[in-house]
Chains A and B, each alone.
Chain A
Amino acid sequence: MKFSFKHSLTLLSGVAALAVAPAAFAQSCGSVTIANMNWQSAEVLANIDKLILSKGYGCEVELVPGDTMPTLTSMMEKGKPDVAPEAWINAVREPLDAAVKSGKLHYAAASLVDGGIEGWWIPKFLADAHPEIKTIDDALNHPELFPAPEDAKKGAVHNCPSGWNCQITTGNAFKAWDAKKRNFVLVDTGSAAGLDGSIAKANERKQGWLGYYWAPTAILGTYAMVKLDAGVPYDDKAFKSCNTKADCAQPARTDWAKSEVLTVITDRFKKAGGPAVDYLNKRGWNNETVNTLLSWMHSNQATGEDGARYFLKNQAAVWTPWVSPEVAKKIQASL
């Protein structure tokens, strides 16, 4: 009887210790959900955050699939997930700013230090063969170089996927540059997969291609593409008040705004995250680093997690300044 009492006591204390252990962790960081957005640069960044937060700060990290609008809407409405590592906020600026003002969400570090770059691109082999094509205007003077899939007599401008904000800006740029009168059609690509596929096909088959794309991306690391100069400066007023709106009557010729790409975190995590939040306030990388990493991932068919490990192993100079030396040691030991 005595023995079994003692026995159960040890058992009990064991259970208690087990119960206490996560609680102790929770004080330092706790559990955190990170949005794993469905494009490559965001995917690898989400995986890097996962590795650093779990190995370096002892958080319990869960990645949840996401996309710009659904994820940010869910963060605003439900406070979940906790972190959007790479939010292209131009498209959602108004509601997001309101949510930040009201204290529901907070902006952390700029994920892409250079900002995201948007514009119209052509394959490099085409640019080399036709050095006179430098600007959007130049390209639109040569519909014959960019034959449309369904009407070879016309040129094609490949549009951004349905429902993305760039679909609106590209459509407005198409109008502003009078592309229709210049014998061009605007081709709907439907989805990111469709847009990427059309670029891959054009490069593999050495066909002309003109359309919207953005950096940093794996496609731009894999296929050599040249961004066309807008030929005009960025017109902040026209871009924000008209070119980004679907019902813009008189779109202006303007360069794309450099996209601000930020880390967005919820109020709950900002309060509960402790030192992990400091990391998210510092973490950011430049486009060249991302393009190179994505290109490595693409040619090795690596997953976001593989990419994150590869980056942490090989680019310590880039990421160690984001964390304290002790944390850096912990992470390096875990790789």
Chain B
Amino acid sequence: MQWLEAFPAMAPEQLSALKKYIDQGFRAITREYGEAIERFFDPLKAFLIASERLLTQSPWWAVLVAMALLVLVSTRSLKLVLGTVVTMLLIGYFGMWEDTMKTVSMIFVCTVVALAVGLPIGILTSRSNGLQRLIIPLLDVMQTMPSFVYLIPVVMFLGIGKVPGLIAVVIYALPPVIRFTNLGIRLVSAELMEATEAFGASNWQKIWQVQLPLALPTIMGGVNQTIMLSLSMVVVASMIGVQGLGQPVLKAISNQYFTLGLFNGIAIVGIAIIFDRASQAYGKRLQRHSEVHHG
């Protein structure tokens, strides 16, 4: 009755053989398809490099003015614009401008990619209960699987640098866009949809002119979450060679440089607050606008 005393686990030799077998299979796949997968992501790499060049090589005041204008347009709040300018000036003054630009560029591209992938999936999910049952558990896995686990295959396929970093970030930051888009569209009232149907709207018109605009405030909540999650992945992504504010944090960890870590951490928090307030204020403004028309 040995199985009563110790758990009847697989024999260690078998277990190690199994692990080795899977690893070898994985290596064979990277040898076979690695090149093709790398080529597939080339446009993304070009996008990442272009975005980083734009932000790091433009003069700092131009970037600052552009950021201030963007915040002004999206929030119409002078207080937030002032906060943004002061935060960015402090970041620059403490010598973290270039790293911050690299991080902002990375977050920007990650958010664009997450939206480009997440919005269509969210819309499809909202239209089919079957698909929703399939997608939701998948999103749960994406959000809970420790990122180090998928860093291994990502590095084997794509090496180190921006693209593998982006993939790691997007895997983690994508779920909110899908969830919130799905939810936002499902929350559009049934009566309203009946009315649009009565007016003879086509499926396409229903999505683009009724459901999406009404779901937009909710979707903006998802975008906000995506940006925040991307920022929280900055340090993990820097472990596979993504430049930016994460690298000095890693340096601080391995050398016990308390101040270096704190400064860069505060810079991350600073841009997180700017992005968060800006996207939230924008979402609220969208809501007000819709209330005036439909309320």
Contacts and interface: CB of A to CB of B under 8 A. Distances in A.
Given A150-B45, A205-B34, A191 B162 contact: no
Interface in B36-51: 45, 49
Interface in A140-188: 149-151, 161-164, 167, 187-188
B201 to A, nearest CB: 47
Given A73-B256, A163-B254, A201-B156, A188 B34 contact: no
Interface stretch (B105-113, B244-252, B273-281): B244-252
Contacts of B127: none
A197 B155 contact: yes
B271 interface: no
B247 A188 contact: yes
Contacts of A188: 241, 243, 247
A151 B48 CA distance: 12
7 contacts: A70-B256, A162-B248, A163-B253, A189-B241, A190-B239, A193-B239, A204-B30
Contacts of A70: 254, 256
B242 A190 contact: yes
Residue of B16, B151, B240, B253 with most partner-chain A CB within 10 A = B240
Contacts of B250: 161-163, 190-191
Interface size class of B (residues with CB under 8 A): 35 or more
A191 B239 contact: yes
Given A150-B45, A163-B253, A187-B160, 20 more contacts: A68-B254, A69-B256, A150-B161, A162-B238, A162-B247, A162-B250, A163-B255, A164-B254, A187-B241, A188-B241, A190-B239, A190-B242, A190-B250, A191-B239, A193-B151, A194-B160, A194-B239, A194-B240, A198-B159, A204-B27
Given A162-B251, A188-B241, A188-B247, A197 B160 contact: yes
A151 B163 CA distance: 13
Interface string B15-32: 010011001000100110
Interface residues of A, number: 30
B95 to A, nearest CB: 14
Nearest to A92: B255
Contacts of B242: 190
A300 interface: yes
Nearest to B153: A197
A324 interface: no
Contact of A301 (B20, B159, B241, B253): B20
A301 B155 contact: no
A189 B34 contact: no
Contacts of A194: 155, 160, 239-241
A301 B16 CA distance: 7
Residue of A73, A194, A204, A299 with most partner-chain B CB within 10 A = A194
Interface of B, secondary structure class, is helix
Contacts of B157: 201
A99 B179 CA distance: 56
Interface string A293-320: 0000001111000000000000000000
Interface string A54-92: 000000000000011110010000000000000000000
A73 B253 CA distance: 13
B245 to A, nearest CB: 12
Contacts of A301: 16, 19-20, 23
B152 interface: yes
Interface of A: 67-70, 73, 149-151, 161-164, 167, 187-191, 193-194, 197-198, 200-201, 204-205, 299-302
A105 B251 CA distance: 26
A193 B237 CA distance: 12
B197 interface: no
Contacts of A191: 239-240, 250
A197 B152 contact: yes
Closest 3 CB pairs of A and B: A197-B155, A163-B251, A163-B254
B160 A190 contact: yes
Interface string B263-291: 00000000000000000000000000000
Contacts of A198: 155, 159-160, 241
Contacts of A150: 45, 49, 161-162
A287 to B, nearest CB: 24
Given A197-B156, A198-B155, A201-B159, A69 B35 contact: no
Contacts of A189: 160, 240-241
A298 to B, nearest CB: 11
A66 to B, nearest CB: 12
B240 A201 contact: no
Contacts of B240: 189-191, 193-194, 197
Nearest to A299: B20
A200 B157 CA distance: 10
Nearest to B165: A190
Nearest to A158: B160
Contacts of B238: 162, 190
Given A190-B160, A194-B160, A197-B155, A163 B252 contact: yes
A73 B254 CA distance: 11
A93 to B, nearest CB: 15
Nearest to B257: A163
Contacts of A187: 160-161, 241
Contacts of B252: 163
Interface in B207-241: 238-241
